[in-house]
Structure formats: structure tokens, C-alpha cells
Amino acid sequence: MILLRIVVFAIMAFLLAPIVIIILFSFHATPALTFPFTGFSWRWYAQVFTDSQLGAALVESMKIAFWTALLTLVLGTGASLAWLRLKRRGRAVIEILGITPIALPGLFLGVALLVLFAQLGISLSTVTIVIAHVLLTLPILLVAMKARLTLFDPSLEEAARDLGASQRQTFARVTLPLIAPTLISCAILALAISFDEFVLTSFVAGTETTLPMYIWSMMRRTVTPLINAISTLALLFSILVLVVAAVVGRMRRAAAVADRTKS
Amino acid sequence: MLAVTPIIEITAGQKSFGSMQVLHDIDLAITPGEIVTLLGPSGCGKTTLMRLIAGFEDMSGGGLRIDGRDMKGIAPEHRPVNMVFQRYALFPHLDVFENVAFGLKVKGLRGGELRERVQRMLKIVQLDNLANRYIDELSGGQCQRVALARALVNEPKVLLLDEPLAALDLKIRQLMLEEMKRIHAETKATFVYVTHDQDEAMILSDRIVLMDRGRIVQVDRPEVMYAHPRTLFAAKFLGETNLFEGRIVGEGPEGLVVHTEGGVTFTVRAEAPSRGPEVVVSIRPESFSFDPATGDGRHSVSGRVEDIVFTGSRSFYTVALQNQRRIRVQVQRSAKHRMPARGAEVALFWDHDDVAVLPIN
């Protein structure tokens, strides 16, 4: 039992140590990223909020991540609903076509997209970056959704219809709530993938600069805890989103239960 | 019976999937308030028939009226029926209260009336203390009750139940059957119950609709169907029976005279089946007796006791006739009579009212 605990703690430490180090050095007073830790300072955080180029790249990346996630969600939900209603052969087609893009190395995909956009006369911009990112995130969503949907009991939709729900009500009250957790986690994953995508982006970015591209160019000069500060802020943002979601969920449920005992 | 308009009326119902026809010439009228069981082996079309009534499948031919209204082209959500699904199909993202409230909510009911109706229904199925539980926190029997409540709270004209007890173990099944009868009495809805289990059908039903290979074989009260099966299939499917192939050799004042392969002669008070003199005679194990007084005094056959299985209140005997033909006999335990032992020479008696004659297939 004690051994088991030690193993568990070791694994946790292994997983969390990099994060702890990142957070720690984001407060480092000097530009060094290695021990010994020589002093505490907010200077890198200050720099995040004052560096206008960095700010522009951050906004650009966030914009791209947002649209990528949204587009992935809409297309992925549509594909999932189709998958639920298709027979075996139709499902296989969706799976194969959907997964092909991630079977290719990003390098080739990038070149192919670049050539395609050039042929079609589409100038490289934020739009082309979003298109490229969706190409990466949609297959991941499809794989995750397939795992979830094979467990989806189609008689739940029949039960809803039987209880008087129209097709729209069935979707809104049964199908969507049941696939929503998977959709949301896929959307978060899409956000994360898009936010730090580098290889594909560098082919189709044109004159745009995303955060990973900016950090890359910055690192070619020097590496400073600025990157740690950005990471820490991103981490903080993720935790905040999760906490707010959990609290809101709990409050809504408590209100619903309390409502019943009223008479 | 004739004065009442049937709540469900199917005329010449047909259903095909592609080139395969799964339902043939279904004619069925169900009276308001009765419990009707669609009984048959798996693949006999009973579930398809129920799904036609619920509106999940379209009929390929024939007519369906529910409560006097033609159901052609009417979507499931607009039919005055509710269904209890085989594996319940409860909504896992909702708790017990919300599951039961679902039907009322989509119809726009809110506030006090909603709460009141849901709570009243939860009380009927004795789940009022579990309203805030999620479905995965319930036992099989509790899920069953939620499924019943979720359907019945909408006050359907007809409640459809698709093998609702199949997923429960035997003990809970017995309890739920009684529960179902109580709930039926309390709600006065019409129950249409699909099962392949003859015991469930006999315990629960006012009438049994026996189905085989897409056709209705016989519709009768359980005791009538048990005593007077009209086909070999019905005799075999409902309960245990002894079957003798034979030939009608004449008709006396007591009924048809049938000589059978076992060398036993039966007289049967019944109409001869229309398809020729070759017939099968069916007689239930409990219709035989070792006591001359319980027979009709004219029929008996002798044999030797080969095997006895004692189950407490009843004993099952295997009696071999002279020609090695074996007969199953079931006798009630009795303090008055000494029961024959293994190897004993016995005479078997029966009453010709308990004999059924069936067309050979």
C-alpha cells in the first residue's frame, strides 16, 4: 500500500514538476531560466502587458483559436449527428475522410495547403490559418466523438419523441446535453492545439504573426522568463474557466432541487 | 364488448423491412382499460407491432386507429401512447424528477402543477424519496419504476411496455409484476405488454395475443388459451404438454375418437380440425391422475413409473407405457393419497374435457 502511494506521488510529481518550475521562474528577477532562484519580481508579467508586438501576437492567436474551436464544434457536431444516423458504410466513410488529415505529417500538409491556396488565388491571412487549424482539430474531435457516440443509446431519442418532444426539442433536451461534455472537451482541446500550432501555421500565415511564431522568433535572440509568464497566465485562465463552469453548474442544480420542495 | 370502441384497432396490418415481411395480416382490437400481452418467441414480430403502435415505424399496409383516430402519418410525439423501453432508455443527464417531468415540460407545463403531477406519480411508484438521484445511482428495479412513472405521468390512453422486466432478476420480476398490476388498477390506462415469457403473460394479462412468425396465432384469455390451444404452437408455447400424433377414427356421442401412436385412444369434445384426419392430441401433465375418481371413469392407460421429481408442493412423474412411449404427469402433494413409487405399475386417468385436439403442422 505504501509503495502504491509512493508510485502515485512520483507520477503526480513527474507530471506537475514542469508546471511548478514554469510558474516559479515566471517570477524570477533575472533572465536566467535555471536554478539557483535569485529573487522575486513581477517584471516579466509587466512586460507581457507592455510589449505591444507580443500583445498583437497574443490577440491574433486567441482570435484564431476561438474561430478554430467554433468552426470545429459546428462542423464536428454536424458530422457526429450524421454519424449517429448513418449505417455502417456511411460511418466508415466519415471516419476515413475525417481522420486522413492527421495521418499526414504537418510539413506535407502545410506545403499542400500553401500550393492549394496559391492555385485558388486565396491570399494568406487569418482565414487561411483558421482553415489549416480546423484541418488538424476536426479529426481529433471526430475520433473523440466516435468513442462517445458508440455508447449513445438511440432509444433515448425515441424515448424523447415518445414523450412528446419534437425533433428540435429532442435535439436540444436530449441529444445535445448528452454529447455536450465531449464537444466541450474537444473544443477546449481545439483551442489548445490551435493556440500553440506552429509548423502548419508557418506555411499559411503570410504576414500574420501568431504567438508561437513570435515566441519562436524571440527565442532565436534570447530566452527569458517572459515565456513562463505567458504560460502561467494561460494556465490561470484555464483553471478559472473550469472553476466558473463547476460553480455555475452546482448553483443551477441546487436551485432546481430547491424549487421542487416549494409548494 | 361490442358496445365499447376499441382503444387500438389494427386492420390487415402489414410490415416489411426491404423484401422481408415481418408482419402479416394483423387484425387486433384492444378494449380500453385491459392488459393485453403480445406473446411470442423472439423474432415473431411482437416488438415491431409495438413500434408500429408507438409510431417509430410506418405500416407497410393496413390501418391503425388509436382512440378512434387514424394514425397514418402521425409522428410518435403526437400519439396518445407512451412507451416503457426494454432497457428503460432513461435520460442519464437528468435526475429522477427531471426524467419523470420530461414529457410534461416539453408540453409546456411549468410551476406548481408540474411539481404536483410529478410528485404524485413518484408517490404511486414509491420513488418520492429518490427524486434527486441520478439514474446511475439507482438499482434495476428503481430504474424500472422511473421508466413507468415517466411514461404514466403523461396520462397516456395506452401504455406500451417492451419486455420491461427482461433486465431484472427473478425475485424483483415477481415484485414488479404485482406492482404493475397495482399501478394499472390505479391509473386505469390500457396496457399493451410485449414479452416472450409465458409466465409473465399469464400472470398479468386480461388477454394474450400469441404471435408466431409475423402472424397472430390466437387471441384469448390466459386460462382459455392454456386449456384450449388452437394450434400445436400455442399448446407447446404456453406451459408443458404431452403430445400424441394420431388419427380421427370416428365421432361418438362423447366427441371425436382419436387413435394415437402411443396406442392410447382419446375422445375429445371438440370440433375436428378442418385439415384432414391426421391430428395431434395435447393433454397437460396436471390433467393426468393416479386417482380413478378424478378421471371421467372411461379413460385410462397403464404404465410403469420411470422417474419422479419432487419439488415440494408438486411432483413430476415420468410414466412409460407398454410401447415405451413416455408421459409426463404432474400431481399435487396430498396427505390423503399414497403416491406411487419408482418402478410401480400404475394406471393413469383423465377427463376428456381436458384433452385438446390440434391440427398437425
Report pLDDT for B3.
63
Q: What percent of chain B has pLDDT over 70?
A: 97
Whether residue A91 is found in the same domain as residue A149: yes
Cβ–Cβ below 8 Å for B132 and A257 = yes
Integer-rounded Cα Rg, in Å, for chain A is 23
Domain assignment of residue A47, yes or no: no
Q: Contact at 8 Å (CB) between B16 and B27?
A: no
Report pLDDT for B272.
67
Q: For residue B113, what is the nearest residue in chain A, using CA coordinates?
A: A263
Q: How far is Cα B328 from Cα B288, in angstroms, rounded to an integer?
A: 9
Q: Identify the contact set of chain B against chain A, taking CB-CB distances under 8 A.
A: 54-56, 75-78, 81-83, 85-87, 89-93, 97-98, 102-103, 106-107, 112, 115-116, 119, 131-132, 150-151, 154
Encode B155-180 in three state secondary structure. CCCEEEEECCCCCCCHHHHHHHHHHH
Domain assignment of residue A189, yes or no: yes
Whether residue A143 is found in the same domain as residue A190: yes
Whether residue B64 is found in the same domain as residue B191: yes
**B100: pLDDT strictly greater than 70:** yes
Domain assignment of residue A49, yes or no: no
Domain assignment of residue B2, yes or no: no
Domain assignment of residue A263, yes or no: no
Cβ–Cβ below 8 Å for B89 and A159 = yes
The predicted complex's ipTM stands at 0.78
Report how many Cβ contacts below 8 Å link chain A to chain B.
74
Report pLDDT for B83.
92
B161 Rama sector, left if φ>0, alpha if ψ -120 to 50, beta otherwise: beta
Whether residue A5 is found in the same domain as residue A100: no
Average pLDDT of the residues in B350-358: 86
Whether residue B111 is found in the same domain as residue B220: yes
Domain assignment of residue B3, yes or no: no
Whether residue B71 is found in the same domain as residue B17: yes
Write the CB contacts of B111 (distance below 8 Å, at least 6 apart in sequence): none
Whether residue B207 is found in the same domain as residue B127: yes
Q: Contact at 8 Å (CB) between B296 and B351?
A: yes
Highest mean pLDDT (candidates B63-77, B270-284, B335-349): B63-77
Report pLDDT for B208.
94
Question: Which of residues B172, B194, B227 is at a domain's end?
Answer: B227
In total, how many domains does chain B have? Answer: 2
Q: What are phi and psi of B22, to 5 degrees?
A: -105, -20
Domain assignment of residue B48, yes or no: yes
Question: Which of residues B227, B257, B284 is at a domain's end?
Answer: B227
Q: Global pTM?
A: 0.77
Q: A165: distance to nearest CA of chain B, Å?
A: 6
Chain B interface test: which of A157, A161, A162 (most B C-beta within 10 Å) = A162
Strands B20-30 and B190-195: unpaired
Residue A3 structural domain? 1-41+225-258
Write the CB contacts of B325 (distance below 8 Å, at least 6 apart in sequence): B244, B261, B262, B263, B264
Q: Residue B137, Cβ neighbours under 10 Å: how many?
A: 11
What are the 10-residue block averages of pLDDT along chain A, 263 residues in total? 89 89 81 75 82 83 90 89 83 82 83 88 83 88 83 88 92 90 84 84 82 82 79 82 81 77 58
Whether residue A214 is found in the same domain as residue A241: no
Q: For residue A154, what is the nearest residue in chain B, using CA coordinates?
A: B89
Whether residue B164 is found in the same domain as residue B310: no
Q: For residue A164, what is the nearest residue in chain B, using CA coordinates?
A: B77
In total, how many domains does chain A have? Answer: 2
Cβ–Cβ below 8 Å for B150 and A163 = yes
Whether residue A114 is found in the same domain as residue A152: yes
Whether residue A204 is found in the same domain as residue A75: yes
Whether residue A146 is found in the same domain as residue A168: yes
Q: How far is Cα B160 from Cα B81, in angstroms, rounded to an integer?
A: 7
Handedness of CA B127, B130, B132, B138 (dihedral sign): negative
List the CATH number of the domain containing B116.
3.40.50.300
Cβ–Cβ below 8 Å for B77 and A178 = no
List the CATH number of the domain containing B310.
2.40.50.100
Whether residue A68 is found in the same domain as residue A109: yes
**B91: pLDDT strictly greater than 80:** yes
Report pLDDT for A229.
83
Q: Which of residues 143-172 of A touch B (CB under 8 A)?
A: 153, 155-156, 158-166, 169
Whether residue B60 is found in the same domain as residue B134: yes
Q: Name chain A contacts of B83, Cβ cutoff 8 Å.
A: 158-159, 162
Whether residue A91 is found in the same domain as residue A152: yes
Q: Contact at 8 Å (CB) between A193 and A133?
A: yes
Report pLDDT for A89.
85
Whether residue B146 is found in the same domain as residue B37: yes
Between A123 and B244, residue with greater pLDDT: B244
Report pLDDT for A145.
83
Domain assignment of residue A216, yes or no: yes
Cβ–Cβ below 8 Å for B115 and A256 = no
Q: Name chain B contacts of A166, Cβ cutoff 8 Å.
A: 77, 106
Whether residue B200 is found in the same domain as residue B326: no
Whether residue A239 is found in the same domain as residue A207: no
Whether residue A231 is found in the same domain as residue A166: no
Domain assignment of residue A215, yes or no: yes
Whether residue B215 is found in the same domain as residue B76: yes
Report pLDDT for B161.
92
Write the CB contacts of B195 (distance below 8 Å, at least 6 apart in sequence): B37, B38, B39, B163, B165, B166, B201
Residue among B292, B289, B287, B248 at smallest CA distance from B270: B248
Q: For residue A155, what is the nearest residue in chain B, using CA coordinates?
A: B89
Report pLDDT for A147.
82
Whether residue B122 is found in the same domain as residue B202: yes
Report pLDDT for B53.
93
Residue B264 structural domain? 240-359
Report pLDDT for B295.
66
Cβ–Cβ below 8 Å for A155 and B85 = yes
What pairs with residue B82 in β-bridges?
A: B159
Whether residue B187 is found in the same domain as residue B326: no
Question: Which of residues B160, B192, B227 is at a domain's end?
Answer: B227
Domain assignment of residue A24, yes or no: yes
Q: Residue B165, Cβ neighbours under 10 Å: how many?
A: 24
Whether residue A18 is found in the same domain as residue A129: no
Residue among B92, B78, B96, B82 at smallest CA distance from A173: B92
Whether residue B144 is found in the same domain as residue B118: yes
Range with the poorest average pLDDT among A150-154, A161-165, B63-67, B192-196: A150-154
List the CATH number of the domain containing A99.
1.10.3720.10
